[in-house]
Structure 1
Amino acid sequence: MPDLDLVVAGNVMYNGVHQYLVESANGGRDAWRKAITLVEDLRPRPIVTGHKNKELDDDADRAITETRRYLDAADEPLARHDDPLGFFHAMLDRFPDRLNPGALWSGAGALYR
C-alpha cells in the first residue's frame, strides 16, 4: 500500500516468532534473503509480517533486521551440529524469547534430512 508506506510481507518477514526453515535448504535461505532485500527496498514504515508476536509493534526496520539476523544465525549451528537436536538447542539459546519453537523444530528436522 504505497500511500501508507505499508508492506504486507506475508511469510517473507517474521516478528518475534521462530522462522519456518523447512524449505530453507539448498539455496532457500539465500532466496529468502533476496526477498527480504526486495521488501526493504520498498522502504516500508509499518510492515505486516506473516507470523507475529502480538506484543510487538509493526516497525519495519526491526522486523527486516531481525528476520535477516535469524537466517544468518541459522548458518552457524547448521555447520557446527550434525543433528537436528543440536541445531534446535543452539537456535533456542540464541533466540529464547521468540514464539513457536515447534516451527524451529520442524525446520531443524527438515534441514538434516
Structure 2
Amino acid sequence: MLRAAFPDARILATEGTIAELRIQTEPAYLTGFWKKLFPGQIPPVEFPEALDSVHFELEGNELSVIEAGHTDTEGTTSLWVPNLRLIVRGDVVYNATYPYPVETTPEARQNWIAALTRLKALNPRFVVSGHKQPQLGDSPDDIDATIQYLRDVDEIAETSTDALDVGLHRGIHLSERPEVNSGPVSHSRHRPAPPDPSDRVRTSAQPG
C-alpha cells in the first residue's frame, strides 16, 4: 500500500519491527489470523530496509526513532520530529479507541507505561496515535489517557474474578469511549497472556 502511494520511497524500519513483521507474516499466522480477519484485503508483503541509525533526515527535518519494546505487541516504535514537536506513534498511543492489552503481562504493561512516560517527557505539541478516529485531532493528552487506561486494566485485573471486567469495568466502560476498535474488549474475555510469539502463531491459527 505504501509502495503504491509512494513508488519512489524507501521503506525503512528498525530491526525489531522487521523481526515482528516476519512473525506476523509466517504462513500459519498470516492465513490463520490476518486473512480471516480481513479476507481479500491483505496485500503482498514487502519487507522494509533495516535502519542503520535511529537518526535520519527527511526534507530538511531531523527524525529520531524511539524504540518502545513491547507495548501492545513486540517491536513498537515512535518517530520524533523535534523541530515540529511532533510524535508519530506506532502501537503505543491510542486516541479514543480501545488499547490492546491482550498480549501483555503486568510487567509488560509497566513497560508500556514507561514508554508513554518517556514520550510525554519530550513535551510534544502533536501526537499522531497509532490507533485513532480519523476525525479527531492529534493531542498530546492522548498519552495520559492511554496511561490511565493501562493503570485501570492493572487495578481491575488484580481484583476481578471475571476477565471480561478488564475490558468493561470502571474507567474503561464501553460508555466512556466510542465503539471504535472494540475488538480488544471482546478479547479481554481471556486473561492477557505472555507475549510469546510461538504461542501467538499457534493459537491464532486455530479457528474461532
- Give the TM-score range, shorter chain: 0.7 to 0.9
CA spacing shift, 1:77–1:93, aligned 2, 3 Å: farther
Whole-Å separation in 2 of the counterparts to 1:63 and 1:111: 23
TM-score (norm 1): 0.84
Q: For 1:6-27, what per-residue CA distance to the aligned partner results, in whole angstroms no more than 9, with x for missing partners?
A: 0112111110010010222140
- The match for 1:57 is 137
Aligned-partner SS, 1:67:
helix
SS class of match (1:7): strand
Q: Structure 2: how far apart are the matches of 1:48 and 1:69? A: 18
Give the aligned partner of residue 106 of structure 1: 187
Cα RMSD for the two superposed structures: 2.1
Q: Which runs of 5+ in 1 are unaligned?
A: none
| Deviating more after overlay: 39-48 vs 79-88 | 79-88
Q: Higher relative contact order at CA 8 Å, sep ≥6: structure 1 or structure 2?
A: 1
User: Within 1, Cα distance between the matches of 2:130 and 2:142?
Assistant: 11
Q: Distance in 1 between matches of 2:124 and 2:112?
A: 18
> CA 1:7–1:97 in 2, change beyond 3 Å: closer, same or farther?
same
> How many pairs were matched up?
112
Runs of 4+ more than 4 Å apart: none
Amino acid at match of 2:155: E
**Residue 78 of structure 1, aligned match among 142, 148, 157:** 157
Tell me what 1:30 maps to. Answer: 110
Q: Unmatched 5+ residue regions in structure 2?
A: 1-80, 195-208
Given the two structures, how large is their TM-score scaled by the length of structure 2? 0.49
CA displacement at 1:108 relative to structure 2: 4.3
Higher helix share: 1
